[in-house]
């Protein structure tokens, strides 16, 4: 059995790489003698591009027994600021998608989006894409609610992020007494427009659906990038102010998880500002990163998969969320922390910048809640495995399309 995996693992981003790895492990475990080929929905080094034309043809048509899309925050529209982002909806015209193998949304999500429900062409596009899927699973309740607002009638299953299944729940090793070790994995403050600008992708050669297109003017991209840089500088200054009282009892370390969003560069600047060690890992399967998080007494993180890895290994976590959307009132980080009943260690970026709460108090609260982490991980891990059971059964016995 041949499985096509469409995801972002070609990016220099640990979370996307781990999603691809877990998909291969869990699907391979259930589907026996299977082979996998990863495709990217946008140009990436070393990973072939899944490209769908206006006639519904893609470059792997007829070669696979299933297409597994995701997981991750791949639903960046409609409206789309670049045609590559149509890929995860099966192209510019989903109703024309020709490949008859089952296509599956595997724990995908919107990243604080709200626009798809506002106009009928966008709602209709989303509904059409979901009608073409053999199985539709999303990573959080906010994404399911947005699909409901688009009047999607097909079942939408809410499942945890697949990376939760990276390791089975296990007791956490006791650390030696002494100075507390706190890690900072606070990424660059980057939104989708800047992400596309960093990729440097061009529009040439792509087929557009004009009803779901809304190209982002370069002036707006530049304006957003300037705003994000200002937010990042304010965040780093606030972190430096907040950790100053902790220095007498705490050893601080900074880590950048990847390069595509500028996290490694941001980590280097933050470590210099704090005058503390900078650690960096380039293992795509995260072994070094996981061992580092496991060695900490607490992790302060902003990226979703940094938070997920802390839960996986049982390290107390404080999440500073730069993605909270004031219109929708949620984000992928907040949804994850809420699913794990971990909101006591959660603070939105704007609230943190306004001085809401002491960082030391957040750390103490996270450490006090440490004993609940294995139970949370166990329950979410069970749901992930149930999801892969369902997904594998659909691949093995697809409905007729």
Tell me which H or E stretch contains 321.
Answer: strand 317-321
Query: Which residues, 6 or more positions from 331, have their beta carbon under 8 angstroms from its beta carbon?
Result: 111, 112, 321, 323, 324, 325
User: Could you tell me the sign of the dihedral formed by the alpha carbons of 304, 310, 314, 316, in that order?
Assistant: negative
What is the percent of the chain where pLDDT is above 90? Answer: 55
CA-CA distance, 376 to 369, in Å (whole number)?
A: 11
Q: Which residue has the tokens 């650390």?
A: 175
Yes or no: say if 168 and 381 are a contact pair by the CB < 8 Å rule.
yes
CA-CA distance, 96 to 94, in Å (whole number)?
A: 5
Q: What is the pLDDT of residue 280?
A: 86
Q: What is the pLDDT of residue 195?
A: 64
All structural domains of the chain, each given as residue ranges with its CATH number in brackets, are 2-163+381-396 (3.40.50.2000), 180-378 (3.40.50.2000)
Q: What is the pLDDT of residue 401?
A: 45
Of 328, 316, 293, nearest to 369 by C-alpha is: 316
CA-CA distance, 365 to 344, in Å (whole number)?
A: 7
- Extract the residue ranges of the chain whose pLDDT is less than 50: 400-401
Yes or no: say if 366 and 317 are a contact pair by the CB < 8 Å rule.
yes
Cα–Cα distance list, 185 to 58, 62, 296, 299 (Å):
38, 42, 12, 7
Q: What is the pLDDT of residue 205?
A: 78
Report the predicted TM-score, pTM, of the whole model to 2 decimal places.
0.92
Q: What is the pLDDT of residue 315?
A: 95
């Amino acid at each position: 059995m041949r499985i096509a995996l469409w995801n972002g693992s070609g990016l220099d981003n640990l979370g996307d790489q781990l999603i691809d790895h877990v998909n291969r492990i869990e699907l391979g475990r259930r589907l026996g003698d299977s082979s996998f080929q990863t495709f990217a929905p946008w140009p990436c080094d070393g990973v072939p591009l899944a490209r769908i034309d206006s006639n519904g043809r893609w470059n792997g048509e007829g070669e696979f027994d299933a297409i597994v899309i995701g997981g991750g925050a791949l639903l960046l529209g409609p409206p789309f600021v670049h045609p590559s982002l149509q890929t995860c909806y099966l192209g510019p015209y989903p109703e024309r998608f020709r490949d008859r193998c089952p296509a599956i949304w595997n724990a995908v999500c919107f990243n604080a989006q709200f626009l798809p429900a506002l106009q009928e062409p966008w709602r209709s596009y989303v509904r059409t894409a979901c009608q073409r899927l053999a199985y539709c699973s999303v990573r959080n309740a906010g994404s399911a609610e947005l699909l409901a607002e688009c009047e999607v009638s097909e079942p939408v299953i809410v499942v945890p992020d697949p990376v939760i299944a990276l390791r089975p729940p296990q007791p956490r090793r006791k650390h030696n007494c002494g100075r507390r070790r706190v890690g900072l994995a606070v990424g660059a403050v980057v939104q989708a427009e800047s992400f596309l600008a960093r990729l440097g992708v061009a529009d040439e050669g792509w087929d557009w659906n004009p009803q779901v297109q809304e190209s982002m003017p370069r002036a707006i991209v530049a304006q957003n990038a300037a705003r994000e840089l200002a937010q990042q500088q304010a965040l780093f200054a606030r972190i430096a102010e907040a950790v100053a009282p902790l220095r007498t009892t705490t050893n601080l370390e900074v880590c950048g998880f990847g390069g595509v969003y500028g996290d490694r560069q941001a980590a280097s600047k933050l470590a210099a500002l704090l005058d503390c060690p900078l650690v960096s890992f380039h293992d795509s399967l995260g072994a070094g990163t996981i061992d580092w998080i496991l060695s900490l007494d607490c992790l302060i993180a902003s990226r979703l998969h940094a938070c997920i890895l802390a839960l996986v290994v049982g390290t107390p976590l404080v999440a500073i969320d730069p993605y909270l959307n004031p219109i929708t009132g949620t984000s992928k980080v907040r949804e994850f922390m809420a699913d794990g009943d971990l909101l006591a260690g959660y603070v939105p970026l704007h609230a943190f910048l306004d001085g809401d709460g002491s960082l030391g108090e957040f750390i103490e609260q996270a450490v006090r809640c440490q004993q609940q982490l294995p139970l949370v991980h166990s329950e979410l891990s069970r749901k992930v495995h149930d999801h892969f059971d369902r997904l594998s059964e659909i691949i093995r016995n697809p409905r007729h399309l």
